[in-house]
Structure 1
Amino acid sequence: MKRWPFAGRRQELEDLVRLARDPTAQGVVIAGPAGVGKSRLAGEVLTHFHAAKVTLVPVRATKAASSIPNGALADLIPRQHPPHLVNTLRWAADELLAHARGRVLVLAVDDAHLLDSHSAEVIASLVRAGQARLVATLRTGEPTPDAVTLLWREGHVRRYDTDPLSDLDVAAVLTAALGAQPDDATVRRLGEVTEGNALFLYEVVQAAMASGALSPIHGMWKLTGDPPLAPRLVDLIHERIGALSPELKEVLEYTALAEPIGARTLSSLTSERALLEAEERGLVRVRVDRRREIARLGHPLYGEVARERLPELRRRRRHADLVAALESTGLHRREDPLRVTVWRLAGGLGAAPRPLLEASRLAWSAHDYPLAIRLGEAALEGGGVSASLQLATLLDYAQQPDRARAVLEATPEPEDEPTRARLVLAQASNLAWGMDRLGDALDLLSSAEKELKAAPPRRQVTVQRLGLTASAARPSEALRLSADLLAHDLGPAQRAQVLSSRALSLCYAGRTGEAVTLVHEALRDAAAWRDELPALISPLHSTWAMCGYFSGDLAVMDQAIASMRAALAGQRGWSRGEGSLALARGNAATLRGQLGAALLVLHAPANHETALTVGGCMAAYAATQALRGEASAARDTLRAALARNRATWTAFMRWVALTRVWVAAAEGETDRAVELALAAAADCRESGLAAFEAVALHDVVRLGAPAAALARLTELASSHEGPRVRLAARHAAALAGGDPEGLLGVAEGFDALGMRLHAAEAAAHAAAVLRRTRGEKAARAATTEAWSLAGACQGPDTPALRGLAAPDLTDRELQVAQLTAAGHSHREIAQRLGIAMRTAMNHRNQAYWKLGVNSPAELAKALNRFH
């Protein structure tokens, strides 16, 4: 097996190296489940011992030798001990000790749980006596010799339980192994499938690369579809779970088809004894949720293998058994109708249209679009107009508007007004969001409002017209219309829709605090409307996140993103919700200056194969590329966004306008970028979009033309909510007035908000003013501040930062500066680097002078933030 470079797990490795060298103990035992990467961690720990001072002796324990006395030491000691020798333990220990040749003996024991008792006692005796240090691995859940367990229980060595790879570790490992970064969606998917098991990750990635499911797309690795199950991976799974009795195989198969499944239901289908044994062997995990015991697979890949190996006839029988078991107890839980309907179809038992429609709606409520669509299609036969409308709506929200259009065109005209209104709503949504025909959609809604006689269906149409008006970034009109609607007695779903539209309009108008209040009001009542309109979860959260973006409150953005993630947990199949979450995360990362992270988050949606309304994500991706100076790539991405997006009538075009500003700046056309920003600001002002206008005007300031934006930014600062626009106005005033102290105050303000790219640009402006008015020496501190802030922004290349050079520190000055920043004294630095104390002081003083700082605290702020 090809060996990947070691990557990730930095903190774990630091902890283990510290424990392995701890003078109060004799080493460390690394414990964890199979395949988690214990041996690799141990190998890296061993490289941190000084080669000239230690003798490393590897000990490989195996199952085959576990019953043979000294079996693990067979290659290290003579085959026969001297005749008539009484203390064979001492003899074996001395033979091992002889390998040290006067150095410190380090025993590297892999799979210590497989040590035979004699070898274990020999190794333990050397460790207890302080004659050897130990770096060992052992598998949790396996019996381990008492001699080994006593070592950490009695404090002779430290035990360290290692966890599976985190998503950050998975990203680092794959980047090192593949030579380029994987996008965020790929990391999350591989982390879910493998649960951070390093061995499984290797095999899954190799199989996915061989099949083409994992490939580089526009500079990043992207996983498309589910990774295949290669024979070697299947063999590994079977090796892990061991031979299964028919009863255990039943437990595994039922769980694979139905998880999460009640433990009592599972035991009734198999047996209590089989379930207990399956849990003991790690085939399933059982947790208690209130009074109910829930069983899940011990690892996701167990289910993949079980389902792949399941013959079709037995699969159908298993599903039929599951239906019978659940129906015998009654469908008491909310999700039961969905589960039993899915199992009926899989078991060949069939289902009537009404249960299929109910199940489809439940799947939609769970944001499982592929399943909801499959059930909706099954309900078409005999389901009538209601089934057609539900399927068309699902297809639209699942980014398949052409299929939705075909369903709508085949739907007969309903006779009753409520159903006719539903058809109009579906047609208008498809026209606007799927066909980019807002005018036709609004005309259709206006005609329906005049024709419908009953108030309830007519009001539904009005609510839809409000939603399209708000999304079209017409806040004044939408606010008037929403106020009229809120004066009526609305149902929960209608009221939530109106609140959502009003909140979006308030957000665009710069009234972000009011908007967040309305979002929270709608979400508080989600239980009353979620089943009727689950897709509303997405725009509410999107507005919430945008309020944080426009106000400069990253905490608000983080809260919205966390809530959206929880609300969309289990999302399957591309939908507007997935795109909204990616866009919010990407915007938050960009606002923080984490440009590389923003690209990772936005890469998957920006390169989605089929979705037709990913333009917002693509435009954000292009903007991030432009901020990194990647002009050609940004231009191509933006062009693709305009070609792909089927809702150009929305605020999407305002985002495009803002992106064009930074594409021009990346191309070196700063004057043109300023013109584009001013034009975008004027358009937004005319449309009442104060939030977009403020961003565009601050872009003018960031590009170095503050006088053109100062007056209007000052006006907006008095009415627009949030600190971002106020800092933008201060930025314009300080730059226009040549006030370096004011600019540094602005940089400090943006840094406090977490907006480090904006802070870096303000500090760079201060450095330029100081250099021009007071000379290079006076500009050093501001230059260092800008360099430090920009260094935390993952590759920015904006006009304000292009002339910024890193402080000219020598390697030795940088070493001394880093140690000083870490709190070490001159004497400690001199001893560590092997230099005179006066030399250490001189290097520190040079670093202070070049960086323009005067204390270890200021030094730490600059260096730590940069790194």
Structure 2
Amino acid sequence: MPLGTTGRDDTLQVVRVALDDPGTSVILIAGEAGVGKSHLLGLVGAEPGLVVVDDLHRYDDHARAAALTAAREPGQTLVATVRTEAGRFPEEIAAFGYDPGVVVVVVEPFTGAEMEAFVGELLGGAVDARLSAEVCRRSGGIALFAAQLVNEARSRGVIERSASGWFLTAPLMVPVGLRQQLAVRLDGLSAAGVAAAELLAGSDALTVEAAERSGHAPGLDALSAAGVARWDQDVLRFVHPLYAEVVWEPLSPLRRRAVLREQLALEAGSAAPDPVRLAVLGLGAGEPADPGSLLVAARLANAAGNAESACRLAEAALAAGTGDQVAAAAGLLAGAQAELGLLDAATDTLLGALARTEPGPAAIVLAVTLHEVRLWGRFDQPGAAAALHAEARRYPDGAPFVTEAFAIAEADGLAYAGRAGDAVRLLDSVPAAELPPPLASMLATSRAHATTLLGRTAEAITIATGAHEQLVELLESSVPGSRSKHLVIASHALREHGRIPEAIEYAERAHALALADGIVVGRAWAALNVAAGLLQAGDLEAAATWAQRSLVAATSAGMVDCERLALGALCVCDGSRGREPDADLVERLRTLPDGVGFLLHQLPIGLAWAAYARGARATALDLLRAGQDRAAADDAVSSESWIIHERLRMGDPTRLDDRLGELATGAPLARARHLLAAGLADADAELLRSAGDAFAALGARLFAAEAYATAARAAAGRPAAALRRRAAAEAARVGSPVTPLLRGIAADPLSPRERLIAEAAAAGESNAQIATRLTLSLRTVENHLARAYAKLGIESRAQLDGSLDVRSD
């Protein structure tokens, strides 16, 4: 299928710039096999004067010389692809680089973002980040290999399409054709080389020290010499990750165990053995399972964010363990299952383990973990609370930390369900000073979450970004997913306070961790928070991309509450850009099951923008007013403040500054909203300008542009012109969306003749020179410039240069 320029726009632009340079005689499009050099060459197209050659390195000396001679003819340019090996040119091509007329354009393997776009175009729809990341990892970013992996996965049904996009349901398989293609490079290896390849295939990488101790040094050198493996400083890896699979797949179970035992011995003999790696290798090699060691390794794997290894190790410990080991293994296994999106399996694991575990600390951890799974994964707050109460009845009054642990977990559930005030009151009853570190971390995370919802964002930030981060690592080993959840809650607090760039950075960190660890639940919530931060920043295009990522992940895992919020964010993105959202998307948003409805107060915002975009402004404002009433009744301060802001952005004529003043609890974002409301209510240009300044200082470019635009309408003369220019400049930074408050503001204030004369003056021409060139009187030129100064809000010719860069054609 045609792939357009996906992932290669920048590289193609470099080629085209080189083509426009008359000094260029040869353009070499260079890169490793399969990166898409030939595809890029095809995009260059056939033009007069171009000599196009694919795989120049395959030509003989005479043919290459003829091509180079032709390129040196006047008006001729040779554009050719050349395959490199480990970044090096073939010997017969290297000499080309010394010619001053030669431009080398290197085609690199796809980055993660480029691969996401590439796979999306291959499949014709949005893709889950885990799918694109796995294709990128397995293909090494090579476009050809990626396309083969995707096509094979689609034909075998290991990727599926949900209502939101494509997601992975089983491991990717190496296509037969690609396997044979790679096997050709392995066919000529000696017996020593084959044995070394098998060892490397089972370990992914070998250090120099391990290679020396392995007894396979000659074979490993042979792999390097054959171009199959490559030394990266002191670490040897296959040149492509798929080689490991091609080598490993045909091995018999007995041979695999033998290889894994070799690796186990190497790891055990290293200076600092890795307990997780030892445990994983031991399982693969069929060594006797020690549940205690497996549990230690599972906790370490979980703390390191390796959910898949934690799941495997905990499952083995559960099968071999007894007594408290069963509960500990079940808690770890269920936590890892939940983070991988296996929510039903996690629930079953926990319920089964609770039934077999006597009351005590182990059972408390199981109950708290079950609460987390039911709450954040299955949006079942009543069921989660019921499980806690049922477990609490098994303990006598005064049992240490039982009441505290369950109160903290239940408070988290209350905040999730929109009852943040009740959550804080419950948390206030917990004696924080007496808690062990894991419970102290849970308490702090829950309090940060609840106080954010109540608008007490400064307090929430102090908790979420302070020493509490150190406690999260202690909690992570017993309650999986704590790290990702902490980062997401910190992002939420920072965003609602107005520290927007930091909020986006926290959420991106959470997403990167979740993606690297294969965690579905954390990835969905993190992507949603990146989208929310970008919405506040006004970058609607990027916000829509992240909301779509959240939506695909949430839909694949059945996370209805997260799915609802992602759909709402997409509606806001479309509506704010003057686009009517897809009707199916809006219908899904309306008809999703209620669930608990995490941040349900924000649902009307998405529906309102969808209504506004189809021209139903009155309906949109009614939705927002009703949503605000519900948020106010539930004391959802952050949500109510946002809803009021959206009413202002849609031009609601109601005076709203008094209510925003009551909600402004010290957060800079809330203060900026209050200034906007007060300025609109009184048509006060100075207040509106101050609101624009406040939003701009927070990095909320779109909101700043809207505030300046309304200030310009309230002002007159030069101040109005200056404010219009600031509005247009801020809007241009986020793509100049056509929001209700920005309509008409970005139009060029100058007439064509005024702009022509102003641009000539800015370029340094005198009034007399302009008059002579345009056949005008000097007085006419002066009058046009005077009108241009007034419209632009400036005083002199010296200010022209920075005032002419924003206009709408």
How far 1:550 sits from its partner (Å)? 0.9
> Displacement of 1:341 after TM fit?
2.7
Question: Structure 1 vs Structure 2: percent identity of aligned residues?
Answer: 25
Picking from 295, 305, 316, the partner of 1:367 is 305
Contact 2:128 2:552 in 1 (8 A): no
Deviations 1:554-596 (A, max 9, x none): 2211331343245446212423x22222112221232233333
Counterparts of 2:366 and 2:62, CA distance in 1: 80
Partner of 1:831: none
1:495 aligned counterpart, secondary structure: helix
Say if 2:511 and 2:527, in contact at 8 Å, map to a contact too. Answer: no
Supply the AA of the counterpart residue of 2:31.
G
Q: What are the within-5 Å matches in structure 2 for residues 356-755 of structure 1?
A: 356-384=294-322, 385-386=326-327, 387-411=329-353, 412-415=355-358, 417-429=360-372, 432-433=375-376, 436-439=379-382, 441-442=384-385, 445=388, 448=392, 451-483=396-428, 485=430, 487-519=432-464, 520-565=466-511, 567-568=513-514, 570-575=516-521, 577-608=522-553, 610-629=556-575, 630-631=580-581, 632-639=583-590, 641-642=592-593, 646-648=595-597, 651-705=598-652, 707-717=654-664, 719-721=665-667, 723-740=668-685, 742-743=687-688, 746-747=691-692, 749-755=694-700
User: How far apart in 2 are the matches of 1:343 and 1:421?
Assistant: 32
State the match for 1:353 in structure 2: 291
- Kept after mapping to 1: 8 A contact 2:29/2:81: no
Matched-pair contact (CA < 8 Å) for 1:622–1:637:
no
2:51 aligned residue: 56
Q: Secondary structure at the match of 1:451?
A: coil
1:615-644 Cα shifts (integer Å, max 9, x gaps): 22432333322441345334323245435x
- Structure 2 match to 1:36: 35
**2:589 is matched by which residue type in structure 1?**
L
Unaligned runs of 5+ in 2: 767-771, 795-799
Per-residue Cα deviation, 1:676-721 (whole angstroms, up to 9, x for no partner): 333433443444432222112212211222534210112333x232
C-alpha distance in 2 between matches for 1:760 and 1:176? 34
- Please give the per-residue CA displacement for 1:285-330, whole angstroms capped at 9, x wherever unaligned: 5456xxxx54443322223333334344322332233233334558
1:769-784 equivalence runs, <5 A: none
Aligned to 1:298: 239
Report the equivalent of 1:104: 75
Give 1:185 shift.
Answer: 5.2
Say yes or no: does 1:249 pair with 2:194.
yes
Which SS does the other structure have where 2:174 is aligned?
coil
Alignment of structure 1 residues 229-378 onto 2, 5 Å: 229-238=174-183, 243-269=188-214, 271-279=216-224, 281-287=226-232, 293-329=234-270, 332-333=272-273, 336-378=274-316
Q: Structure 1 residues 307 and 574 mapped into 2: Cα distance closer, same or farther (>3 Å)?
A: farther
Higher mean Cα deviation, 604-613 or 152-161? 152-161
Question: Residue type of the partner of 2:459?
Answer: E
Inter-partner Cα distance in structure 2 for 1:280 and 1:388 = 48
Q: 1:517 to 1:241 in 2, by over 3 A?
A: farther
**Which deviates more, 166-175 or 372-381?**
166-175
Does structure 1 conserve the Cα–Cα contact (< 8 Å) formed by 2:27 and 2:77?
no
Matched with 2:797 is none
Cα distance in 2, alignment partners of residues 710 and 196 from structure 1: 52
Provide the rounded CA distance (Å) in 1 between the counterparts of 2:115 and 2:473.
36
Aligned-residue offset at 1:346: 2.6
CA contact 1:182–1:600 (8 Å) conserved in 2:
no
TM-score (norm 2): 0.81
Displacement, 1:171? 5.2
Give the counterpart letter for 1:351 in structure 2.
A
Structure 1 CA distance for aligned equivalents of residues 50 and 246 of structure 2: 44
1:537: how far off? 0.7
In structure 2, relative to structure 1, the CA distance for the partners of 1:301 and 1:724 (3 Å cut) is same
Question: How far off its partner does 1:405 sit?
Answer: 3.7
1:357–1:375 contact (8 Å) kept in structure 2: yes
CA shift digits 1:364-416 (9 cap, x unpaired): 33334344334333333342442344434444454444334433443435445
8 A contact 1:473–1:689 mirrored in 2:
yes
Shift of 1:442: 3.9
CA contact (8 A) 1:625 1:633 kept: no
CA distance in 1, matches of 2:188, 2:43: 34
**Alpha-carbon offset, residue 542 of structure 1:** 1.0
- Matches of 2:381 and 2:40 in 1, distance apart? 58
d(CA) in 1 for partners of 2:244 and 2:764? 57
Query: 1:123: which partner in 2?
Result: none
Q: How many residues align?
A: 778
Alpha-carbon deviation of 1:611?
Answer: 1.6
Residue 546 of structure 1 deviates from its aligned partner by 0.8
Measured against aligned partners, the alpha-carbon deviations of 1:715-735 in whole angstroms (never above 9, x if no partner) come to: 333x232x2212211211222
Question: For residue 70 of structure 1, what is the amino acid of its counterpart?
Answer: H
Question: What CA deviation, in whole Å up to 9, does each residue of 1:343-377 have, x standing for no partner?
Answer: 33333334233333333333333334344334333
Cα distance change on mapping 1:744 and 1:470 into 2, 3 Å: same
SS at match of 1:274: helix
Q: Which amino acid aligns with 1:323?
A: L
Q: Give the whole-Å Cα distance in 1 for the aligned partners of 2:56 and 2:388.
A: 75
CA contact (8 A) 2:34 2:142 kept: yes
Deviations 1:193-243 (A, max 9, x none): 333323333433444454455677658666665444223333443456674
Give the C-alpha shift of residue 17 in structure 1: 4.5
Partner Cα separation in structure 2 for residue 186 and residue 285 of structure 1: 27
Query: Residue 804 of structure 2: SS of its match in structure 1?
Result: helix
The one-letter code matched in structure 2 to 1:505 is A
- The 8 Å contact of residues 29 and 138 in structure 1, kept in 2 or not, is answered as no
Residue 348 of structure 1 aligns to a residue in which SS? coil
1:224–1:422 Cα change, 3 Å: closer
Query: Which whole-Å deviations, capped at 9, do the CAs of 1:456-475 have from their partners, x for residues lacking one?
Result: 44443343334334444444
> Structure 1 residues 782, 525: CA separation in 2 closer, same or farther (over 3 Å shift)?
same
Question: 1:712 is aligned with what amino acid?
Answer: R
Aligned to 1:70: 62
SS of equivalent to 1:103: coil
Superposed CA RMSD in Å reads 4.6
So what's the TM-score if we normalise by structure 1? 0.76
Asked whether the 8 Å contact 1:706–1:733 carries over to 2, the reply is no
Alignment of 1:785-824 (within 5 A): 799-800=740-741
* Contact persistence 1:764–1:783 (CA under 8 A): yes
Letter in 2 for 1:313: L
Alpha carbons of 1:188 and 1:594: their partners in 2 closer, same or farther (altered >3 Å)?
farther
Rounded to whole Å, the distance in 1 between the matches of 2:630 and 2:107 is 56
> Could you give the per-residue CA deviations for residues 818-849 of structure 1, whole angstroms, max 9, x where no partner exists?
x969x97889xxxxxxxx9749999xx89x97
Alignment check: 8 A CA contact 2:331 2:350 kept? yes
Q: Is the 8 A contact 1:622 1:633 kept in 2?
A: no
Secondary structure of the residue that 2:318 maps to in structure 1?
helix
Local SS of the residue matching 1:635: helix
Q: Is the 2:130–2:518 contact (alpha carbons within 8 Å) kept by the matching residues of 1? A: no
